[in-house]
Amino acid sequence: MKRLLSGNEAMALGAHHAGLSVAAAYPGTPSTEILENLAKMEGIYVEWSTNEKVAMEVAMGASYGGVRALAIMKHVGLNVAADPFFAASVTGVRGGLVVISCDDPGMHSSQNEQDNRHFARFAKVPMLEPSNSQEAYDLMAWAFQISEEFDTPVLFRSTTRISHCKTVAEVQEAPDVDRKRPKFTRDPYKLVMVPSNARPRHPLMEERIQKLSSYVETFPLNEIILQDRSLGIISSGAAYQHAREVFQGASFLKLVTTYPLPQTLIRRFALDVKRILVVEELDPFIEDTLRAMGMNVIGKEVVPIMGELNPQILEERAAIAGLIPKPAALYAVKKPVRELPMRPPLLCPGCPHTATSYALKRLGFYHTQPEEESASGRKAVARKRQGLIVTSDIGCYTLAVYPPLLALDTCACMGASIGQAHGLEKAGITNKIVSVIGDSTFLHSGITGLVNAVYNEGRGTTIILDNSTTAMTGHQGHPGTGTSARGETAPRVVIEDLVRGIGVRDLSIVNAFDLALIEDTIKRCVETDEPSVIIVRGACPLHVRGKGKPMTVDLAACDQCFNCLRVGCQAITREGNEVRIDTAICVGDRCAVCSQVCHQKAIRVE
Amino acid sequence: MKKIDILMTGVGGQGVILASDALAEIAMKAGHDVKKSDSLGMSQRGGSVVSHLRLGRQVFSPMIRKGEADILLAFERLEGARWADYLHKGSIAIINDLAIPPLSVVGGASAYPTTVEVEDIIRRYTDQLYIMPGTQIAQEMGNPQVLNVLLVGFLSVFLDIEEKSYIEDLSQRVPQKVLQLNLKAFARGREEALARTQGN
């Protein structure tokens, strides 16, 4: 049956039809929808794990138990899960173990664009890469089969354009799903990796890659298309589709087995064509191997090493390199009449992070002075004299780095804020330091940072922005929500109990929409000599809908100070000197942060 | 079956993705190969949204090149102007006459382009420009939410897909209690388009 499926939907369906029993994931763009789709299917155990490392370990355990298992994450999640991922490569599997990594070239919603194909070579595991939803569906069964046949986890690599793109796929309608029965057989030589057991595993891993190298030579989904033989293109994933678009008449070798590479097949293709261009997104992963094979290829001198690829970029670069004639469209693009205003993403109207971000800006930027330009040449540099330093984390609240809030000073990776704040303090920075982290991120990997701060006598203040959901990725459950991956009621881990249990004595819980209380609490906490935690609690307006009484601006009372515009709320607009509140998107007095910053009390409930 | 590249743009929360999802499904059922690619993730939070929808006999890349879009359907004026360089001579540009000023405009750091400016920007690429008071009509019909169905109705006149395919899809997609309103909005969108094209 023909269906229009996103890559993520296709992977979920493919895994289901391949007899998947256990799936574990932590949400992260662009991977989130895979588990969300699996959660709609019968007969599979699904869970949102606390983080990617745990998800990997759960999948490993399930595989040891003899059933087919899936761990799903975004590219940076595999950094978190790297330890068990490498361990699984050493022990091998029982039931098929597939690890989906969704990379994000172009950083649509990520802090970096690392190329996770390197993880396959690094951990010595085979890798498969689909180039559309059809292959995303078909390859899933192959991935489990390879895993079991070669006793190895399989890395299944997708990218944003594969995961989020909808393409037509022919799928089975409702096949009889054959699942393996759970069974655990004791075998310490395989499953207990003390050094004496691990050493004999390493030769097996090397042998495994050799066997896989032969196996992929005849893998049916690698495809040679011979057309004009003056140019042969070797490509994979989304890049392959862009290349087909741009080099319509050329010959192609499409690879879905990108580690190990089918070297004999590649050499055979090379004999059929005059010269070879490798079209791949990000790093020269395939290209480097071809060069090591002694082949003369064109690659990164034409195809950019950075950013997401698209037909436009590929066409321009190929034309400049003389591989194709210059396209007419290149000259048709006109200079803009004028710069159009940008529209960056913002905190939503009624967002429970707004008041805290506003308070942090006020306390943070009170005393700054411009310094020399930063290395990046941007002018946003200011030496903080006395104001707060705010280390932030991964979540919606990171949007407070943009104007007009400008509230944050660092953001690196999941859970980093608390450790960074502690490091700044121990370095001898005399400013007060506050770390800001969401509830889901705190449970993901903030806990260990807080334990560390307590043990090592930190004085920092940690703000846990608790909106009781994983908001940025679309409201998934986590241990603090009391909701399972299937949307059912689940036991709830109470964050304040956890914080107290860690040994934090100074704990405050404040309402996310009470600006004065938030500000006073921060001011008090940063003056103490012990670690403190402020839980700022308020629901996400996209998650818990509903409006309060509408807010309005009394224009007669307004003195046009425009403080309300500095809250950064999308519902507050200005026409000339008149401030208006768009009641269609304002959540009303459920939030009312704007009225709290108004000196004239001109913003009121209607 | 000739290729048709459609770029749908707007602001997060306007229903751009929902509309392009529906259109993609309808086109597939009508026998086209279809690929569709959206901006997701952080762009959802009130940022610019763009959806690339490509139809044809066999589509490779899911992304439209600059100068290659045959139709631009913009749910908002600035987001219409922003993607103008995807148009070519002969492209059809449908722009919903609505301004949602971004925060930089509200704060006074930059100016929102006037309707005339937006028209000028589009007309540098194509003369087939329709400025459509979609938001106003949707409000008159009693529910601003039907904007996307109204705009898809307008767009449908320019596509070689039978009217009943859209109606079938709507009937499956939309809850029963608002179905009549949505069907009316779709029909109204078509009427608006036909009234404008027959004058040409």
Residues 63-122 of B with CB under 8 A from A: 63, 65-68, 78-79, 81-82, 85, 88, 101-113, 117, 120-121
| 3-class secondary-structure state, position A594 | helix
pLDDT at B199 (0 to 100):
60
- Residue A375: exposure state from Cβ atoms within 10 A (0-12, 13-18, ≥19): exposed
Domain map (residue ranges) of chain A: 2-216, 223-331, 354-370+378-537, 551-605
pLDDT at A368 (0 to 100):
47
How far is it between the farthest Cα atoms of chain A? 82
Residues 139-198 of B with CB under 8 A from A: 144
CB contact under 8 A, B21 and A332: no
CA distances to A455, A478, A481, A497, A498 from A494, in Å? 21, 11, 9, 5, 6
- Pick from B75, B100, B103, B123 the residue to mutate for testing the A interface (most A CBs within 10 Å): B103
Contacts of A335 in chain B (CB under 8 A): none
Tell me the per-residue pLDDT of A294-341, one tens digit each, with 9 for 90 and over.
999 999 999 999 999 999 999 999 999 999 998 776 555 666 667 899
The region of weakest confidence among A319-328, A431-440, A548-557, B188-197 is A319-328
Average pLDDT of the residues of chain A: 94
Q: In degrees rounded to 5, what are phi and psi of residue B49?
A: -125, 135
A533-544: average pLDDT: 94
Task: Indicate the residue of B28, B62, B109 with minimum beta-carbon distance to A161.
Answer: B62
Instruction: Write out the CATH class of domain A2-216.
Output: alpha beta
Return the DSSP state at A127: E
pLDDT at A367 (0 to 100):
44
Report residue B134 as tokens: 């979609």
Contacts of A29 in chain B (CB under 8 A): 40-42
Q: How far is CA A429 from the centre of its chain?
A: 31
pLDDT at A376 (0 to 100):
55
Instruction: Please give the tally of structural domains in chain B.
Output: 1
pLDDT of chain B, 200 residues: tens digit per residue: 689 999 999 998 889 999 999 999 999 999 999 999 997 555 556 788 999 999 999 999 999 999 999 999 999 999 999 999 999 999 999 999 999 988 888 877 788 999 999 999 999 999 999 999 999 999 999 998 999 999 999 999 999 999 999 999 999 999 999 999 999 999 999 999 999 998 65
Return the DSSP state at B20: H
**Domain CATH for B192:** 3.40.920.10
CA distance A313 to chain B (A): 9
Q: Cα–Cα distance between B88 and A419 in angstroms, integer?
A: 52
Q: Cα–Cα distance between A119 and A107 in angstroms, integer?
A: 19
Domain of B16, in residue numbers: 4-198
Q: Cα–Cα distance between A202 and B117 in angstroms, integer?
A: 67
Size of interface A-B (CB pairs under 8 A): 153
Yes or no: say if A131 and A238 are a contact pair by the CB < 8 Å rule: yes
| 3-class secondary-structure state, position B197 | helix
Q: Cα–Cα distance between A171 and B57 in angstroms, integer?
A: 20
The residue whose two tokens read 């515009």 is A565
Q: Classify each residue of A38-68 as buried b or exposed e, where b means 16 or more C-beta atoms within 10 Å of its C-beta.
A: bbebeebbbbbbbbbbbbbbbbbebbbbbbb
The nearest alpha carbon in chain B to A569 belongs to B103
Yes or no: say if A315 and A246 are a contact pair by the CB < 8 Å rule: yes
Tell me the per-residue pLDDT of A216-270, one tens digit each, with 9 for 90 and over.
999 999 999 999 999 999 999 999 999 999 999 999 999 999 999 999 999 999 9
Contacts of B41 in chain A (CB under 8 A): 29-30, 108-109
Task: Indicate the residue of A329, A343, A472 with minimum beta-carbon distance to B65.
Answer: A329
Tell me the per-residue pLDDT of B12-67, one tens digit each, with 9 for 90 and over.
888 999 999 999 999 999 999 999 999 755 555 678 899 999 999 999 999 999 99
With the C-alpha atoms ordered A308, A311, A313, A315, is the resulting torsion angle positive or negative? positive
Helices (H), A549-606: 593-597
CA distance A311 to chain B (A): 6
* Identical fold, A354-370+378-537 and A551-605: no
Report residue A568 as tokens: 């950064």
* Bridge partners, A605 (sequence order): A551
Instruction: Write out the CATH class of domain A551-605.
Output: alpha beta
Neighbours of B116 (CB within 10 A): 8
Q: Cα–Cα distance between A400 and A359 in angstroms, integer?
A: 11
- Which residues, 6+ apart, have CB-to-CB distance to B116 below 8 Å? none
Q: Cα–Cα distance between A410 and A419 in angstroms, integer?
A: 12
Yes or no: say if A408 and A380 are a contact pair by the CB < 8 Å rule: no
Task: Indicate the residue of B35, B78, B102 with minimum beta-carbon distance to A167.
Answer: B35
Query: What DSSP assignment string belongs to A139-208?
Result: HHHHHHHHHHHHTS-EEEEEEHHHHS-EEEEE--SSPPP-PPPP-----HHHH---HHHHTTHHHHHHHH
Tell me the per-residue pLDDT of A142-185, one tens digit each, with 9 for 90 and over.
999 999 999 999 999 999 999 999 999 999 998 999 999 999 99
Q: Cα–Cα distance between B58 and B33 in angstroms, integer?
A: 6
Task: Indicate the residue of B41, B48, B117 with minimum beta-carbon distance to A109.
Answer: B41
Task: Indicate the residue of A245, A310, A334 with minimum beta-carbon distance to B124.
Answer: A334
Q: How far is CA A118 from the centre of its chain?
A: 18
Superfamily of domain A354-370+378-537: Thiamin diphosphate (ThDP)-binding fold, Pyr/PP domains (3.40.50.970)
CB contact under 8 A, A339 and B110: yes
pLDDT interval class at A374 (50, 70, 90): low
- Residue A87: exposure state from Cβ atoms within 10 A (0-12, 13-18, ≥19): middle
CB contact under 8 A, A343 and B68: no
Instruction: Write out the CATH class of domain A223-331.
Output: alpha beta
Q: Cα–Cα distance between A566 and A351 in angstroms, integer?
A: 15
Residue A377: pLDDT over 80: no
CB contact under 8 A, A2 and B11: no
Return the DSSP state at A219: -
Reply yes or no: is the peptide bond before residue A30 cis, omega within 30 of 0. yes
Task: Indicate the residue of A242, A329, A342 with minimum beta-carbon distance to B61.
Answer: A242
Which H, E and C letters describe A51-70, residue by residue? CHHHHHHHHHHHHHCCCEEE
Report residue A253 as tokens: 């070798």
CB contact under 8 A, A166 and B21: yes
pLDDT at A292 (0 to 100):
98
pLDDT at A375 (0 to 100):
53
